[in-house]
Amino acid sequence: MLRLNESIRKGLRKILLRFLFVLLIVLGVAWLVQAGPSEVVVSKVESFSESDYRFFRPSYNAQLENEYLRVSFDTNSLQFMVTDKRNNAQWKSVLEDEDSELNQIWSSFFNTPFIVEFCDSTGNIKRTYSTRDAKISIRKRSSNMFTASIVFENIGASFDVSYELIKDSLRLKINNINEGKYRLMGLYLYPYLGGSHGVVNGGFILADGVGAKIDLSKKTVATAPFKARLYGLDIGFREVFPYSYFRNVKEPENYSLPLYGILYASDSQNSENLANEYINGLLTVIEEGDMYAEINAFKAGIVTNHNWITARFVLRDLHKKLLNKAGEGITVPQEELNTTKFTVRYFFVPNANEFSLVQRFVEEYSKKSNATNGYTFKFDVLIAEAKKSTFDYSLVKMTNQEQFLKIKSVLRKFIPESLFVLVGYTEGGLSLSSPKHLPLEKRIFGRPLQPLEDYFYVNYILSPKESKSLNKIGIALNRLEQFMEYEGKYVLSPKFVKSFVIKEKREFEKVGIKKFALGSVGDLAFSTRDMTRAEVVTDFTNAFRIFGKPIVYGFNWYVISLAGALSDISLTNSGYEIEDEVLPIVPYILKQFLPIFSSPLNLSSDYNRDLLACIEYGIFPSFYLTWESSEKLVNTNSKDLVSTRFEDWLPKILIAKEMYEKALFFINSKLVSRVQVSQDVYLNTYDNGAKVLFNYSEKPFNFDSKIVKPISFAVIQAR
């Protein structure tokens, strides 16, 4: 009985202690609450709220003026209007009269000089408008320029802008872009400059591939606008997938030149006369910041009933952030701004057509003309390839040294000015080359080199995965920290290439090789994990200057100062539904800077048509040749080289040579006009007075009692 009472007492003691412990905790919490503030403050993430809609009609109160132009400004909004004093044409920078058909978003967009895109606290991309949301302060003013500061207090962003009147142009500079509460994503400036409503007699001129025209006099069936990043997409922000997924997917053509054009006929002209003169032209050139420019063009009927074209500057790119090894991730904006400044220049060109408009670009940015009276052909000759065998790779000989000299001797006899580029001369063959291109393959070059006057192909941008001279330290990493790839090849690191090319150039000098053809340089402009797109391009072009004036493959504008000639000029555009016709402004411009060559015509799906296009556009032809049959390449990385045997192609090359002989008196002249007279038939007029009809159709064409054969040209009027 005593033992039972003792156990009860111990139990009661434990319960009492637990009760006292809980009571102390409750009293302590109550004391802390009483001692603290009367309200609990919960921090909130500030969200963006838009201002009320307003439409701003300009009230011009200042101007810049010279003998060519008068620019009237509203200094409160920076809306402006340009009056061309040579023909009294007016160009309004914004939509001045409110359109009842537009919703408030598009009305604000067309009415605003500057639109800033930013990422809000929820991760959504929103816009803020300078007319509605910005505080504008004029800083300096003179007779030909003034500067202003623009502050978006609602998002904490700001930048400076300057306007300078230079002859027939207005230069606009954006500097000191700063961000505050939110990450900036993009910036539009004057998107409605040169805009119009509905179907009008006019057109937009694009440097897409060979060039394109959006005809504003035709109603469109397109549902999507034209959007293209200058110099192609930045693969540094793209996730790497196996190339086999996309092998048969055709990439759009590169937008290779930093410009676009706008043309309008006078009210008295009809659409048929649009190819003639008496048209008001506006040429926009992106002088700085072109690496981050995206050309946007909308035609009436796509989203709104307005026509407009502009450059959007990509301040931040989006990329996938990987969360695990399975490849799952989220899309995020890059950390740093791409650029904090850019420059755009507007040229106002009266009495212009498509070609005289872009000729203004040549006049302004060409230091010397590329005067030539003849023509030349380029021949890429494959020496050897590599084929996967049981244990290693075996050599596939395609052209030995004696055979190459024979090819060269025959072709030089008929085409004395021919250029020859040796490809796949590296030990092991083409697929085992890059980044290291030496030593030479001894089984091909058994004696000292003779063709020292010829070009040797090198590629310091892309490397085959089979290459034995590449290790991981030489491969670039993208923003996802993956090894970068393009078309099934590794992308080389710019930092690695900078030091490597200096060493290999010395090795080339030892064997007497002095001329080079640089692969992929003019095609790919990309960023890496640690470098911006502009930094990568600058490093590559500076590094490659040790090669003198090489042939450069690809034709993006940034390689003009590097190259002695350009190869692989496109003969078509991307073929977007909004594009109404091919307009060869890109070769028209480039041929005035340096010689330009096509991609290999013998690898084309339509040889005769592409040869005719080369003659019309003033592009010199290329051929990819081997001594042996291309059947030997079936099990190699060069299996796409379907027909390359020299003996098979020699007759066609000689026929092409005869066609160029007939075209000599106009092929190096400048186009004055190009008029479509029928489906696939064009009449070209040149500055030397020649008129030539090009018939791309499958039927003979009768023009002024002259029969022009299918897929051919005929001189209608000699100079």
Alpha carbon distances (Å) from 719 to 115, 620, 709: 51, 22, 22
pTM as predicted: 0.90
Residue type at 178?
N
Q: For residue 37, is pLDDT > 90? A: no
Alpha carbon distances (Å) from 546 to 509, 542, 549, 711: 12, 8, 9, 43
Residue type at 81?
M
Q: What is the DSSP letter of 531?
A: S
pLDDT band at 29 (very low <50, low <70, confident <90, very high): very low
- For residues 600 and 611, give the distance between their C-alpha atoms in angstroms, rounded to a whole number: 10
Map tokens 């930092």 to a residue: 495
| The dihedral sign for the CA sequence 119, 122, 127, 131 | negative
pLDDT digits (tens, 9 = 90+) for 612-664: 999 999 999 999 999 999 999 999 999 999 999 999 999 999 999 999 999 99
Alpha carbon distances (Å) from 422 to 12, 304, 454: 100, 53, 7
594 or 120, higher pLDDT = 594
Is the distance from CB of 340 to CB of 382 less than 8 angstroms? no
397 or 24, higher pLDDT = 397
| Tokens matching residue 498 | 């900078």
Q: What is the DSSP letter of 427?
A: T
What percent of the chain lies above the pLDDT cut of 90? 81
Residue 36's pLDDT is what? 42
| Tokens matching residue 252 | 């759009």
**Which ranges of 415-565 does DSSP label H, i.e. alpha helix?**
494-510, 533-543
Q: Give the count of alpha carbons within 13 A of 418, CB side only.
A: 21
- For residues 504 and 494, give the distance between their C-alpha atoms in angstroms, rounded to a whole number: 15
In the chain, DSSP finds a helix count (H) and a strand count (E) of 11, 42
pLDDT band at 371 (very low <50, low <70, confident <90, very high): low
Q: What is the DSSP string of 585-630?
A: HHHHHHTTTS-EEEEEGGG-SSHHHHHHHHHHHTPEEEEEEBSS-G
Q: Give the count of alpha carbons within 13 A of 707, CB side only.
A: 3
- What's the rounded mean pLDDT across residues 18-23? 58
Give me the count of residues in the chain.
Answer: 719
Q: For residue 316, is pLDDT > 70? A: yes
pLDDT band at 24 (very low <50, low <70, confident <90, very high): low
Is the distance from CB of 263 to CB of 354 less than 8 angstroms? yes
Radius of gyration over alpha carbons of the chain, in Å? 32
Residue 80's pLDDT is what? 98
- For residues 663 and 618, give the distance between their C-alpha atoms in angstroms, rounded to a whole number: 9
- What's the rounded mean pLDDT across residues 708-717? 95
Q: For residue 121, is pLDDT > 50? A: yes
259 CB burial (10 A radius; 0-12, 13-18, 19+)? buried
Map tokens 């393009």 to a residue: 486
pLDDT digits (tens, 9 = 90+) for 187-227: 999 999 999 999 999 999 999 999 999 999 999 999 999 99
| Tokens matching residue 314 | 């990509």
As beta bridge partners, residue 78 has none
Residue 22's pLDDT is what? 53
Q: For residue 313, is pLDDT > 70? A: yes
Q: For residue 44, is pLDDT > 70? A: no
Q: For residue 356, is pLDDT > 70? A: yes
Please, what is the end-to-end C-alpha distance for the chain in angstroms? 136
- What's the rounded mean pLDDT across residues 520-525? 97
Residue 622's pLDDT is what? 99
As beta bridge partners, residue 188 has 115, 312
Q: What is the mean pLDDT of the chain?
A: 91
Residue 391's pLDDT is what? 80
pLDDT digits (tens, 9 = 90+) for 690-701: 999 999 999 999
Q: What is the DSSP string of 130-191?
A: HHHHEEEEEEEE-SSEEEEEEEETTTTEEEEEEEEEETTEEEEEEEEEE--SSEEEEEEE-T
Q: For residue 1, is pLDDT > 60? A: no
Residue 453's pLDDT is what? 87
Residue 3's pLDDT is what? 45
- For residues 170 and 189, give the distance between their C-alpha atoms in angstroms, rounded to a whole number: 14
- List b or e across 511-531, with b for residues whose CB sees 16 or more CB atoms inside 10 angstroms: eebebbbbbbbbbbbbbbeeb
Residue 654's pLDDT is what? 98
Residue type at 165?
L
Is the distance from CB of 397 to CB of 641 less than 8 angstroms? no
